[in-house]
Amino acid sequence: MSGQEYSVIEYIEKSSGIPDDLFPIIAALCNVSEKLAQTIADGDLGTDLSASVGTNLGGDGQKALDLIADDAYSQELKSTNIRFYASEEQDDVVELNPKGNLALAIDPLDGSSNIDVNVSIGTIFSIFPAKETANESFLRPMGEQIGAGYFIYGPQTALIVTFGNGTMRFIMDSRTRKFICVEERMSLPSDTTEYAINASNYRHWPNPIRAFIDDCVTGTEGPRGENFNMRWIASLVAETHRVLSRGGVFLYPSDKRKGYEKGRLRIIYECAPIAYLIEQAGGQATDGTDAILDQQAYELHQRTPFVFGSAQKVEKIANYYELPEHETAALFGKRGFFRT
């Protein structure tokens, strides 16, 4: 079959390498996301989706749509074999189906702060085999995922998903409202000249990150010998979609500010599923030095620094952490790494 001929549900039904018990889960996620896409598209024609309604456990502000999405996914997934449901918007794990054998972690609405400015936002999810207890099902090595993906709501509504055999791209047909396969095996370019970081936090970053960015900024006159372009959307799903589409690297390091010492993004709900997708597309994802998928989660809302993208760029950033301190501390200084 060509990539234009089948939906994500048909793909799962026909693929021998995907466990049958994932079928109802993906169907439920697609069903909610299709409706959510319409709600987002309606915007102010419906209700005030960007209204502030409180904060979650991590202190992040919650928008009305955060809670609408969280409730919709949890209700829809009750009829599937998801036993444990962990949401970024809830303090604790919820048991949906006591007879279920799988566990799902979800960021129901990533980038909700961008709702009122019409920037692409999304839903991130990750699937694990369930263990005996709720916490055990998520506090485990992140490489034990059996499926992960995200929905992106923008000019196109799309599903990017992996079941451990490559990263696939599905676009929602606006006429049929089905997610149709357009790319069976995404391949992330090995090296590009784009990077994404919030440069306003420069003064707070660790020296290796500052040194990497300094060398990018100097362009052809610096040690890298080429010009770079900086991007920053402040929506993790949108950033990931761009990186998967045309390469580059995304950086959200830890920094000196209170609450950012261990990074800001959550390893279970955001970093682990994105890392799985990126690695399945040929890229790399680390905390700056060590692979995200090799790491163990010890807390439900645990945070981590996050670097992902084209393999060559991610490896290059890890090398900056190995440089002597005096070489990373000097603005635009010569790096011993580049002289070897």
Task: Give 114-135 pLDDT, tens digit per residue.
Answer: 888 889 999 999 999 999 999 9
From start to end of the chain, where are the E strands?
A: 52-55, 61-63, 82-87, 94-95, 102-110, 121-129, 147-153, 157-162, 167-172, 179-183, 194-196, 229-231, 249-252, 265-266, 284-286, 303-304, 306-309
Q: Is 159 helix (H, G, I), strand (E, B) or coil?
A: strand
Directed axis angle between helix 207-217 and helix 311-320, to 10°?
120
User: How many domains does the structure of the chain reveal?
Assistant: 2
CATH code where residue 42 lies: 3.30.540.10
- In this prediction, residue 191 carries a pLDDT of 75
Q: Specify whether 168 is located in the same domain as 305.
A: no
pLDDT digits (tens, 9 = 90+) for 284-293: 999 999 999 9
Report the percentage of the chain scoring pLDDT > 90. 75
pTM score, whole prediction: 0.92
Domain boundary among 122, 154, 183: 183
Examine residue 1 and state whether it is found in any structural domain, yes or no: no
Examine residue 75 and state whether it is found in any structural domain, yes or no: yes
pLDDT digits (tens, 9 = 90+) for 41-73: 887 765 655 565 555 555 565 678 889 999 999
- In this prediction, residue 3 carries a pLDDT of 42
- Residue 189's alpha-carbon distances to 170, 227, 302, in angstroms, are 19, 17, 30
- In this prediction, residue 336 carries a pLDDT of 55
Give me the mean pLDDT over the 192-216 stretch.
96
Examine residue 265 and state whether it is found in any structural domain, yes or no: yes
Q: Specify whether 330 is located in the same domain as 309.
A: yes
Q: How confident is the model at residue 335 (pLDDT cuts 50, 70, 90)?
A: low
- In this prediction, residue 340 carries a pLDDT of 36
Q: Specify whether 218 is located in the same domain as 282.
A: yes
For residue 129, what are the domain limits? 8-183
Q: Specify whether 235 is located in the same domain as 205.
A: yes
Q: Is the model more confident about 158 or about 63?
A: 158
pLDDT digits (tens, 9 = 90+) for 216-251: 999 998 888 899 999 999 999 999 999 999 999 999
Examine residue 99 and state whether it is found in any structural domain, yes or no: yes
Q: How confident is the model at residue 17 (pLDDT cuts 50, 70, 90)?
A: confident
Q: Specify whether 295 is located in the same domain as 164.
A: no
Q: Specify whether 84 is located in the same domain as 163.
A: yes
Q: Specify whether 167 is located in the same domain as 304.
A: no
Q: What is the mean pLDDT of the chain?
A: 90
* Lowest mean pLDDT segment, chosen from 17-26, 48-57, 201-210: 48-57
- In this prediction, residue 8 carries a pLDDT of 83
Q: Specify whether 165 is located in the same domain as 204.
A: no
pLDDT digits (tens, 9 = 90+) for 256-285: 999 999 999 999 999 999 999 999 999 999
DSSP sequence for 186-207: ----S--SEEE--GGGGGGS-H
Domain boundary among 183, 216, 240: 183
Q: Specify whether 205 is located in the same domain as 141.
A: no
Q: Specify whether 144 is located in the same domain as 288.
A: no
Examine residue 3 and state whether it is found in any structural domain, yes or no: no
Give me the mean pLDDT over the 183-201 stretch.
93
Q: Is the model more confident about 19 or about 331?
A: 19
Examine residue 84 and state whether it is found in any structural domain, yes or no: yes
Domain boundary among 134, 154, 183: 183
Examine residue 145 and state whether it is found in any structural domain, yes or no: yes
CATH code where residue 232 lies: 3.40.190.80
- In this prediction, residue 327 carries a pLDDT of 83
Q: Specify whether 34 is located in the same domain as 125.
A: yes
Q: How many CB atoms lie within 10 A of CB 262?
A: 12
| pLDDT at 156 exceeding the cut of 80 | yes
Examine residue 97 and state whether it is found in any structural domain, yes or no: yes
Q: Specify whether 179 is located in the same domain as 202.
A: no
